[in-house]
């Protein structure tokens, strides 16, 4: 009887051997923690569809941010929920807008010990829940009018202390107008992380609870990408890089590992991926039922995103993962 001479199991025999030859490693600095800050509340509010995630007051936000930085998380990205919404999202670029308040508070607290990012979109700020002002007939988002708003929001965010602005609205030309606006104002040193390949995904549902950003009509398929398209992701990525993006993102992450790999193979800038609310909620729900091993599943899901080619992972488990790895 012929026995095999090539035995891959030799390097799997013990935990030490497996660790020695591991090809994909996680590090706390790889992670960015998304945080929701809501105007007009005095204490954090639990998000029912995302166990463990909260809408923060300014005070509770500062506490969560300190915890993440202490754990070694690489960065924080802020989403704001204003006290007032209107057709053009005026609170998004207001000097006393909730994200601008939060950026100033965190910069004062944390200095340069972490990377402060600001999501740049209008869906949380508009009374209709779409990502920019609507056309005259109210049927869809007006791309070019929205670009003017995005430029103003970007400037407000960098002035408040953002290291990175992250435009997520999927408007054509958004990176170019943001780059021009912040450089003209003297902020040429601030980075743009473009949500370059953001798909019109069914996995965003819990986020819309957390950010209070559900559209009042229709959906976002007229401006976010068709989940069936892979080649189009590269078109969007290269367009954003040509316009001045410093890094690019694929969103969601888990269902789009192939897209992450294609983008990572095609570019020489950092690639981020967002493990979105639906990915988080599904795993938490299954774990709560005892159907999967929670910690192992969290680590495996993020490892897969890194293995696919993402250098940075935006994940709601960032702090927990960082502590677990440490």
The 10s digit of each residue's pLDDT in 161-198 is 999 999 999 999 999 999 999 999 999 999 999 999 99
List, in order of start, the domains of the chain with CATH numbers.
Answer: 26-325 (3.20.20.70)
- Per the listing, tokens 């998380």 go with 73
Phi-psi bin for 115: left (phi > 0), alpha (psi -120 to 50), beta?
Answer: beta
pLDDT digits (tens, 9 = 90+) for 213-262: 999 999 999 999 999 999 999 999 999 999 999 999 999 999 999 999 99
* φ, ψ dihedrals at 287, nearest 5°: -65, -40
Closest CA to 101 of 72, 123, 81, 85: 81
pLDDT tens per residue across span 30-43: 999 999 999 999 99
**Is the pLDDT reported for residue 107 higher than 80?**
yes
Q: Can you tell me the distance from the alpha carbon of 308 to that of 253, in angstroms, rounded to the nearest whole number?
A: 10
pLDDT score of 303: 98
What pLDDT band is residue 1 in, cutting at 50, 70 and 90? Answer: confident
CB 298 within 8 A of CB 282: no
Question: 């680590």: which residue's tokens?
Answer: 299
Task: Tell me: pLDDT of 151 over 90.
Answer: yes
Burial class (CB in 10 A: 0-12, 13-18, 19+), 152: middle
Catalytic residue among 38, 85, 251, 306: 251
Q: What is the pLDDT of residues 257-298, one digit of tens each?
A: 999 999 999 999 999 999 999 999 999 999 999 999 999 999
**Is 63 a catalytic site residue?**
no
Q: Out of 38, 85, 198, 306, which one is annotated catalytic?
A: 198
What pLDDT sits at residue 195? 98
pLDDT tens-digit map of 11-67: 999 999 999 999 999 999 999 999 999 999 999 999 999 999 999 999 999 999 999
For 209, list phi and psi in degrees, rounded to 5. -70, -45
pLDDT (average), residues 110-134? 98
DSSP code of residue 112: T
Q: What are phi and psi of 17, to 5 degrees?
A: -65, -45
pLDDT per residue as tens digits for the range 70-84? 999 999 999 999 999
Note every long-range contact of 234-241, with CB atoms under 8 Å and residues 24 or more positions apart, other chains counting: 234/262, 234/263, 234/266, 236/196, 236/197, 237/194, 237/196, 237/197, 237/263, 237/266, 237/267, 238/266, 238/267, 239/175, 239/196, 240/175, 240/194, 240/196, 241/194, 241/267, 241/269
pTM above 0.75, yes or no: yes
pLDDT at residue 3, as a whole number:
87
Count CB-CB contacts under 10 A for residue 250: 30
pLDDT computed for residue 211 by the predictor: 96
Sign, CA dihedral 141-206-114-326, equals negative
Q: Sign of the CA dihedral 297, 298, 299, 304?
A: positive
Q: What is the pLDDT of residue 76?
A: 98
Distance CA 18, CA 13 (A): 7
Packed helices 143-160 and 174-184: angle between N→C axes, nearest 10 degrees: 40
Which pair of tokens denotes residue 157?
A: 């965010």
198 is catalytic: yes
């Amino acid at each position: 009887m012929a026995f095999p001479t090539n035995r891959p199991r030799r390097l799997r025999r013990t935990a030490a051997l497996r660790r020695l030859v591991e090809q994909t490693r996680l590090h706390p600095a790889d992670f960015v923690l998304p945080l929701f800050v809501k105007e007009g509340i005095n204490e954090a509010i639990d998000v029912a569809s995302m166990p463990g995630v909260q809408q923060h007051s300014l005070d509770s936000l500062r506490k969560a941010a300190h915890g993440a930085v202490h754990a070694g998380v690489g960065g924080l990205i802020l989403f704001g929920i204003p006290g007032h919404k209107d057709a053009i999202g005026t609170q998004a670029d207001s000097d006393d807008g909730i994200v601008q308040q939060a950026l100033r508070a965190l910069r004062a607290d944390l200095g340069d010990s972490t990377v402060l990012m600001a999501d740049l979109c209008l869906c949380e700020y508009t009374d209709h829940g779409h990502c920019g002002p609507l056309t005259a007939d109210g049927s869809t988002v007006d791309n070019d009018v929205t670009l003017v708003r995005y430029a103003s929001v970007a400037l407000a965010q960098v002035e408040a202390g953002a290291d990175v602005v992250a435009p997520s609205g999927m408007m054509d030309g958004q990176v170019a107008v943001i780059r021009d606006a912040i450089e003209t104002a003297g902020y040429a040193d601030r980075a743009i992380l473009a949500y370059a390949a953001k798909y019109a995904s069914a996995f965003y549902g819990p986020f819309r609870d957390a950010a209070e950003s559900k559209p009042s009509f229709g959906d976002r398929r007229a401006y976010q990408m068709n989940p069936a398209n892979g080649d189009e992701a590269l078109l969007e990525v290269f367009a954003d890089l040509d316009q001045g993006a410093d890094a690019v993102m694929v969103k969601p992450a888990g269902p789009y590992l192939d897209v992450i790999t294609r983008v990572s193979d095609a570019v020489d800038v950092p690639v981020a991926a967002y493990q979105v609310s639906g990915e988080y909620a599904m795993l938490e729900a299954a774990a709560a039922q005892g159907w999967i091993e929670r910690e192992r599943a969290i680590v495996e899901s993020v490892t897969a995103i890194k293995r696919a080619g993402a250098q940075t992972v935006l994940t709601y488990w960032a702090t927990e993962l960082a502590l677990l790895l440490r």
